[in-house]
Amino acid sequence: MAVAATALSLVPSVQFDAALIRKMSRQGPRYTSYPTADRFTDEFAMGDYLQAVNTVRAMGSRNSLSIYIHVPFCDKLCYYCACNKIITKNRSKAEVYLTYLKREIDMQGKLAGDLNTVTQLHFGGGTPTYLSDEQMGDLLAHLRRWFRFATDDAGEYSIEIDPRTVTPERIRTLRTQGFNRISFGVQDFDAEVQKAVNRIQPEETTLAVMQAAREAGFRSISIDLIYGLPKQNVITMDQTLAKVIAANPDRISIYNYAHMPALFKSQRQIAEDELPNAETKLDMLSLCIKRLSAAGYVYIGMDHFAKPNDDLAVAQRQGRLHRNFQGYSTHADAEMISCGVSAISAVGSTYSQNEKTLDAYYERIEQGELPIARGIKLSVDDLLRRIIIQMLMCNFELSIRSLEVAYPITFANYFATELEQLRALETDGLLSLDEDWLTVSPKGRLLIRNICMVFDRYLGAKPEAKLERLRYSKTI
C-alpha cells in the first residue's frame, strides 16, 4: 500500500537553491539511457542485435513497439545545434536518403514487424518537415505496410517541427497523415538572440502554426526553449516566457545551452563574449521555474514542464513515466526500433546505434545489412543500475525493498560505496535515505543527474574517463 500511495501522490514542486546549484553543478550524462551512449562499442554488431530480437520473440514479449525515424536534413544552420544534421538545400539528397531508409525499414519490419503493435512513433532530426508532404505520406505508408499501429486515440505519434518550414496547411496535412503530437522548436522569441544564433523566426510565424495545430486536433503541443544563448538576459527571457505562457502549450522544455565549440563546429560561430555568465544563467533558470510554476505547469524532471492533465504529468503521478532517447515518455515497456543515420535502438537488454555518416549508412544497406555501427549488451549489473536511474529520473524516489525483491541483492551491501556518497548528498539536502526509501528532495530535483551519477559505475572506471567527461554538459 505504501508503494502505491507514494506512486499515485502528487509530485511536490521543485525548489530552486542557487547556492546548492553553484556547489553541485558539474559535467555529467543526461541519462537518456544507461549505460550512456559513450559506452557503446564497435564490438557489438548486427548479429548481437538479431540475437536480441530473437530473444524478445522467444520470450513471447507483450511489450508494444516504439519506432523512431531520424531525418537528418536542415535548410539552415542554427549555430547552437549539437544534433546529428546535414545542412543542404539540395532536395535530391532527401530522395536518396529515403530510398535507403525504406530499405532499412524493410529489414526491421521483416525482423520485428509482427512482434507487436506500435503504440509510439517519433520523427526527429534535423528537421523532419524537410520532407515534402508527398515524401512524408509515402514514408508513413511504407511503415504501415510493415508494422501494426495502434488507433489514433491509443497511440502517441509525434513529430518535431521547425515552424519556419511549415504553413498552417502543412500542419493540417500532418494531422491527417496520422501525427497527433507535435513539438515546435522556438528557443527564444527575442529578435537579437535569434540573430546571434542564426535562427530568425518571427513570433507570428510560430504562433500561427501553433494555432493551426490546435485547430487540427493535435492532442499535445510542445515548445522547446533554450537558456544561456548569446545576448539572452533575464529581461529577454521573461518576455519570451510571457509569450510562451500566453500561447498555452501542453508541454514546455527549457534546455541549458552547453557551449562546446571544440566538439560542435557550428558553435564556433557564436561570439563567446555575448554569452550570459553563469550567474545570469542561474537567474534565468530560477525565473523559468517561477514563471512556469505560477502558470500551473508541473515540473516533470530535467528540462521538462507539463500541464497537470498532460499524459506526462499523469504518468508521473501514477509511477508509469519512462525516459528514453527522445526524453520522457509514457511508454515504459516498449521495445524501441530506430531507423535512419545515427539512430539508436533499445531492444531487450541491448542498445545499438546506426552508422553516423550517410556514406557508411548507405554502404551497409547496400551490403544487405542493418547499418549498426556499435552498441552494448547490458549485464545484470547494468540492468539493476538502469532501473534505479530510471526510477530516480522519472519518480524522484526509489523503493529499496522493492528493488531487493526484484533482484537478489541486499542494497546496503551491494551499494556500500554508493551509500557513502548518498549520505554526503543527504547532508547537502538533495535527498533523504532510510532502509526502505531513497527520496529526492524538491531542491534535489534540479540536480537529479548528480544523484544518478552516484550509481553510474562507468564514471571514473577508466583512465580516459576524465577526458570523456568533457563530452558531457553541466548538470545545471
Residue 372 lies in a domain: no
* Among candidate residues 339, 367, 396, the one where a domain is terminated: 339
pLDDT at residue 116 greater than cutoff 70: yes
412 is in an annotated binding site: no
Residue 180 lies in a domain: yes
**For 396, left (φ over 0), alpha (ψ -120 to 50), or beta?**
left
- Residues contacting residue 393 through CB under 8 Å, at least 6 positions apart: 31, 301, 302, 323, 448, 452
344 is in an annotated binding site: yes
362 is in an annotated binding site: no
- Mean of the pLDDT values across residues 265-269? 93
288 is in an annotated binding site: no
Residue 171 lies in a domain: yes
Same domain, 250 and 104: yes
Q: Which of 438, 331, 435 shows the shortest CA–CA distance to 395?
A: 438
**E strands along 314-396, which residues?**
322-324, 327-329, 335-339, 344-347, 350-354, 372-377
Give the DSSP H or E segment for 203: helix 203-216
Chain segment 342-373, per-residue pLDDT in tens: 999 999 999 999 999 999 999 999 999 999 99
- Residues contacting residue 364 through CB under 8 Å, at least 6 positions apart: 355, 370, 371, 372
Query: Residue 329's beta-bridge partner residues?
Result: 322
125 is in an annotated binding site: yes
Residue 398 lies in a domain: yes
319 is in an annotated binding site: no
C-alpha cell at 440: 529526492
> What CATH number is attached to the domain comprising 257?
3.80.30.20
Same domain, 100 and 119: yes
* Among candidate residues 287, 317, 339, the one where a domain is terminated: 339
- Mean of the pLDDT values across residues 69-96? 93
Same domain, 326 and 251: yes
Asked if 146 and 337 touch (Cβ cutoff 8 Å), the reply is no
Number of C-beta neighbours around residue 194 at 10 A: 20
Chain segment 48-75, per-residue pLDDT in tens: 999 999 998 888 767 789 999 999 999 9
Q: Which of 451, 456, 415 shows the shortest CA–CA distance to 430?
A: 451
Confidence of residue 325 (pLDDT cuts 50, 70, 90): confident
Q: Supply the pLDDT for residue 247.
A: 95
**E strands along 22-90, which residues?**
65-71, 73-74, 86-87
Q: Supply the pLDDT for residue 27.
A: 84
Residue 453 lies in a domain: yes
Confidence of residue 471 (pLDDT cuts 50, 70, 90): low
Asked if 207 and 240 touch (Cβ cutoff 8 Å), the reply is no
**E strands along 76-117, which residues?**
86-87
Same domain, 28 and 103: no
Asked if 291 and 245 touch (Cβ cutoff 8 Å), the reply is yes
> What CATH number is attached to the domain comprising 448?
1.10.10.920
Alpha carbon distance 335, 382 (integer Å): 17
At residue 325, the 3 state secondary structure works out as coil
Alpha carbon distance 212, 97 (integer Å): 29
Same domain, 78 and 203: yes
Same domain, 405 and 288: no
- Mean of the pLDDT values across residues 440-459? 94
Alpha carbon distance 81, 229 (integer Å): 11
Chain segment 182-224, per-residue pLDDT in tens: 999 999 999 999 999 999 999 999 999 999 999 999 999 999 9
Confidence of residue 330 (pLDDT cuts 50, 70, 90): confident
**Alpha-carbon distance values, 281 to 80, 189, 257, 412, 472 (Å):** 16, 17, 9, 38, 18
**54-58 long-range contacts, CB within 8 A, separation 24+:** 55/348, 56/112, 56/115, 56/335, 56/347, 56/348, 57/115
Alpha carbon distance 159, 198 (integer Å): 23
Same domain, 229 and 246: yes
- Mean of the pLDDT values across residues 242-247? 96
60 or 228, higher pLDDT = 228
471 is in an annotated binding site: no
pLDDT at residue 305 greater than cutoff 80: yes
Q: Supply the pLDDT for residue 1.
A: 33
Number of C-beta neighbours around residue 160 at 10 A: 21
Same domain, 289 and 388: no
C-alpha cell at 387: 532501473
Q: Name the percent of the chain lying above pLDDT 90.
A: 79
Q: Supply the pLDDT for residue 11.
A: 44
**Alpha-carbon distance values, 297 to 175, 196, 300, 308 (Å):** 25, 29, 9, 6
Q: Supply the pLDDT for residue 71.
A: 97
At residue 114, the 3 state secondary structure works out as coil
Same domain, 71 and 23: no
Chain-centroid distance of CA 426 in Å reads 28
Residue 442 structural domain: 1-35+380-476
Of 11-15, 26-30, 374-378, the one with minimum mean pLDDT is: 11-15
199 is in an annotated binding site: yes
224 is in an annotated binding site: yes
150 is in an annotated binding site: no
126 is in an annotated binding site: yes
Residue that is written with C-alpha cell 534505479 in the block: 388
Residue 293 lies in a domain: yes
Same domain, 403 and 321: no
Same domain, 69 and 183: yes
Confidence of residue 329 (pLDDT cuts 50, 70, 90): confident
Same domain, 45 and 28: no
Question: What are the DSSP calls for 335-351, one per residue?
Answer: EEEEESTT-EEEETTEE
C-alpha cell at 430: 538533495
* Among candidate residues 306, 339, 372, the one where a domain is terminated: 339
Count up the domains in the chain and report the number. 2
Residue 87 lies in a domain: yes
